[in-house]
Structure formats: structure tokens, C-alpha cells
Amino acid sequence: MRLDLVLIARHPELSRRRARDVIEKGQVSVAGQVVNEAGFAVAENADLRWDPNRKAVRFARLSLPILYSDETILVLDKPAGLLAVASAPGVEDEDTAYARVKEYVRHLNPRRPYAGVVHRLDRDTSGALAFALAPDARAALRSLFREHRMDRRYVALVRGAPLVDEGTIDRPIADAYEGGRRHVARPDEPARPAITHFRVRERFPAGALLDVRLETGRQHQIRLHLAHEGWPIVGDPVYGAPGRGAPPAPRQMLHAALLAFEHPLTGVAVRAESPLPDDFKRALGAMRSGTTPRPRKADRPPRRR
């Protein structure tokens, strides 16, 4: 349930607006950790405490939906079309998820603002993206990624389909990065291990909907692995190619649906889920029906001046 609804159930004297207010002020904790997002998902029997005497914290609103937030970790819902980080070192004027988080943190904690990059998503991949709000949290989260203790699940709409219902792609990816592309490594070239697990959720005449779980997290790993196996992601301009029967799409139909992990500083189970965005739903509906969706203004990548 939503945190504000659980709080109201425990404290019926609170209105919905008042419950949201005390949460945003940092007066509510879950399992000992302050959570300031009213929509944060908690169990009905969660260890929840409201301390009206706790000094209110400064509250700022982020210009992106928040999937999980506490004092040290932030998971937001990145839209397709928005860069996760700047396209090159030293570039300061690009609109990125990281820049928006830094702006948010400066309002939230003007004396000691901190925002650290933990991982990345491609510009046109939507979904759950984590940032650290403290240096020790960043180091701990990056360790979780390196040690494969971060559950990362994606949804991909592809042309073609696996012959089996589930399987694993274990193909090293070459270190070389040329023309915005990577490639599956040849036996004689420098490379890094890359392992992708997949499961077919739904099959269509022209393709399939796949659940994908990353064991490693190389750049372009899912897009490259699926294309190499003959199932390119619909709308992928780099590793895909126009194919008969597959609907056109405004971007690559790859969505980071879930980040789940044990909080490295508190031990609390964190589960941040991102719903399918509208453009993905339309492409999926077109694939199911075999029709071509009409382009919509909402499908255009978001831009902020």
C-alpha cells in the first residue's frame, strides 16, 4: 500500500493532505529509515513510525517521478529521450537526469548537497534509475552492482522470438566502441563477460515480449545480445533494422521495470518498480493487433529548456 494510506490507517486523525505533509517533512520512518515520498509502497504491517516532534526537513520536488527515496538513496523513473548523465565529461549545459537530481539535492540540502551516479540507462531506455545521496551509499551501491547483488529486470519488445521460453545469453562484449556501437567479441580481442537471462512473456506473429534480467551490466548489453540472437528490439536505430510485421516505434522499446536490492546501509529490502510508459503500451498493442500505431506528440523525447 501507499505509505500515506498506511499512515492514515494507523492514525485516523490525519487527513490525506496532512499525512502527505508529515511524510514530506521527514517525520515518518519505515523500518528505522526516513521516507519522504507519500506514494512509497509499504506492507500493511510495516514497522512504521510517525514522530510529530521530529524537526521538519527541507522538502523539494524533483521534476521526475520518484520510485523510492530515503536519506541516502534515490530511485527515479527516467523517461525515454532524457540522458542519464552528460554525453561527455565537462559538459554542463545538457538536460540530464543527473543534473535534475543535483538541482533537487541543492534545494533539499543546500549546506552539504551530494548526488552520485550509480549506474546508467541509455537515452532512449525508460525506467528505474538509481542515484546515491551520500558518498558511502554510492560506494556500497556500486559494490552491489559489481557483485551482481542488484536485481535488474527489463521488459523488451522484439522482432522475431526465441524458440525456447527462457534461456541465457552468455557472450562477451568487446571493449571496442566504434561509431556508437559495440559488438560481440571475437575470440582474439579484449572483451568483458556479459550474461543476459530472458523469458518469453508473450508471443506474436511478428515478435515477442520478453522479460530480461541482467547478470552483468555492460553498455548496450541487452540491445546487442538480443540483436545478435536474431531478436532485435523494436525501434532500435543502432542494432535493429526495419522488419516486416513489426510496428514502427518512436524509440527502442526497452524499459527498466525493476530495481530490487537490500539497502546496503540499513538492510531494508528496497523494491522500485516502474510501470510501462504509454509509448511502450501503444507499440505493444500494435504488435498484438498487427496494426501500425499513429505517431503522437507524447511519444516525442522530453525536452526541458
Q: What single letter denotes the amino acid at residue 243?
A: G
Cα dihedral 132→81→276→231 (10° resolution): -110
List 122, 236, 279, 299, catalytic entry: 122
CA distance linking residue 109 with residue 111, whole number of Å: 6
Longest C-alpha distance within the chain, in Å? 69
On whether the CB atoms of residues 84 and 121 are closer than 8 A, the answer is yes
Using the 8-state DSSP alphabet, how is residue 200 labeled? E
Pairing of strands 151-159, 207-214: antiparallel
CA distance linking residue 173 with residue 191, whole number of Å: 5
Q: What single letter denotes the amino acid at residue 109?
A: N
Catalytic site includes residue 77: no
The residues annotated as belonging to the active site are 122
